[in-house]
Structure 1
């Protein structure tokens, strides 16, 4: 045995969670011991060297009876039994003893003794039972064939079965037919990998109620049982609500971004009027037009706040018609399109309902449309058009927004969703619009978002265009 192997064995011996003693049968002294043994019996190293096995046992045994027991272990080669031991201060211990004969040489027979504190094991078992039966989550143990062994009240109440009914049905009966094979696969996976966590499934109660649950399974130490934990998804709604409150900060940041440029425009108009009046240069005939611009912008800002009030606390996951949602957004932005001479063409081939946070998702679509408006202003394209259409591709709903503003340079196309990246002058944009759009559509809602350049034929003329596609 090389040095590395010796060091490894020494580490395993000293770090074992079980107490280990090595007894010299001739001298009846313990020649080796680990720290767990010292802690268990409350002896120091010097003290444990001076005691014998007789000093540890609480059984009434003579020296002859102790010798006979040790002789039987040597002849058999090993033994296992439960008994009572005592610590240095007389505290009683229920222990399991595992003894094995080892021979480093024929003249010095040794016993390798492992002591397991059954009191500690019983305490752990009691703690487990307390958690098992008091948990608000549904907890059960099942055998490897999926039959119930025991379950807590929360599991029984969730299933709506009585105790006698539930104990006599297989686990698979609590799931729809289409999921039964998957549950069997999960059991096989747990047997192999010992553990799975938060698998989403549909749970069917005795009276046919369906609910979405999360399943966690653990293979028990005896390798014959599986601990099954189910969480009712409706209970997790409270957690989702907490997350929604945390997201309010992000919503406020989005509003701040939406307000920044309009407020800047109001400030420029007002400052311009004030300066020109001080210099006696202001043309009073422009006053109505300037005031109309300010009123238009303040209405836009007011709409943002109204949307925030309506949607900020709305339950995430409510289904909305995609076509109706787009129509509402276009109606809200109508004046802005007319002001910039942009024609809107819609082509709705399908109209599915989508599960979204309406406020955030609407702001993401507005960011895309405002990006097109800014592109038209920058490129000064005539015959401006934005085409919005829905279609079904490979059983997925696609929403496509296409403008003829000239597309985006291919060299920077991949960078447009990066934070603070902007093609405008630094004073004109923060570069966060499409970044926030990506976060909302992809990271928050888990839908797909893509950008690509293409050609568009509009009124018998070809234009370079940018396509924005959302796949649900």
Structure 2
């Protein structure tokens, strides 16, 4: 009996010891895993600090940086409060951690100072942006541009800029404020770069890697020791208890990994949706819930059709279903809506998830919100349309001016003849010959007006269609649009073409628009020459690959500074009421984007009829006819 009690007591002690060890070891394991989470979070925070330190000056999310600093301090405090190193025999781990913590604290101090400098620099830059609008002195604008470039060009000499600032004497309060803020920027920029250099050397990735490796090795040893204890106790009790405890250990480890994965998915910026094989929703992450306005409880067991905006055709979804149900990954875009009915554009990838038998069990959709990108693209297309319409108004203006010029004399003759008929009729002096002469004059001039309309209609028969056209004919059409102005300004127009059969493929009206823009610029410049001879020379030639169109004038040329900016949008040397600065920009886009060619301007000297002249030469190079030319109009402003 005593031996029975002794055995029972022995087993009771074993069971109690087993329970105690399991509980204690479980607590230790949890502490070690919590510690591992803190270290993993420190790695993420350190990477974020490195990104911030390596980034250029600009707008930053101060709340995010402050949050990262708070998280870093929280993790360090938690690790220190846990006193986990007191239970570790290897004292080097504590030394390594203290070294890492000290480096991280130094980096946080640098980040704090960088954040402060960034705020000061942004404030001063914004002030200078407002102040420079009130300063007309080009020296200040030049310095302002160089200061702004400091953020993009690390090789820019700050000492040179500082010297320039010291050499300038302000003449008003705006100039004075500009110099004050500029000096602050240079000072803070220098300190900012120095802080970045200090921060960049505070890299402790290797120390973290070494620490994680050593800590992982220690953790493995700890787990192995626990495992051996449990195995010893389980062998004394039973194989079944051993299996149960081993299974519990595996479950614990899996749950921790699952928890980490779930946290990563739930906090991802991408939308994550999980459905069963019938496409009924089982899970959506926080980002999906936040943007759509639906909670998980509202969409669970419903299909993703609850998000559909009803814009995408059914065939699109049919092809998607065919792909994913065949076991393939599908990538595409959705047009959905949130709970309030607002449109959301999404770029999505849907992958089937298979069970152990190789059958589809679930579907995983990872989606990215591209609504802002779509809105920006729409805005660019609208801007392109406005620019195109504006360019077409230039051609329409030339047509109307040319028609008005060519109609003025015939209409005057018709009016005079009609008045003559009435006067002679009233005084009884209208005889048959006079009636016939005046009627013929009215008829002939009316036919001339009709023929003029037909001529101008023929200019734009092709509309916006891609056609094959003769380039000489295109220049002839351009000439007719500006002929009246050439005559009024007494400009001599000299045209030479080596080969009358040169053809191109594209939208002829757009090329005519380019010619008219260039010729108008030459005429504007020649108008200021007074009584001196005015020339426009056009020469067309080709080789095996390209056609070359040279248009030059004798308007004395322009400055190199103007030539370098001539193709920029909204740049003009004319008064605001005379030009928009878009003509040559659009011409450049048409030649480069639609005709895949090149256009350039340069000052040149030339001789004509034994006299020397100076002016600007425009060279247009266009590849000869290509059968693979796109049959649609390219978008202006894109490359």
| TM-score greater than 0.5 by the shorter chain | no
Report the TM-score, using the length of structure 1 for normalisation.
Answer: 0.41
Q: Which structure has greater helix proportion?
A: 2
How high is the TM-score relative to the length of structure 2? 0.31
- Greater strand share, 1 or 2? 1
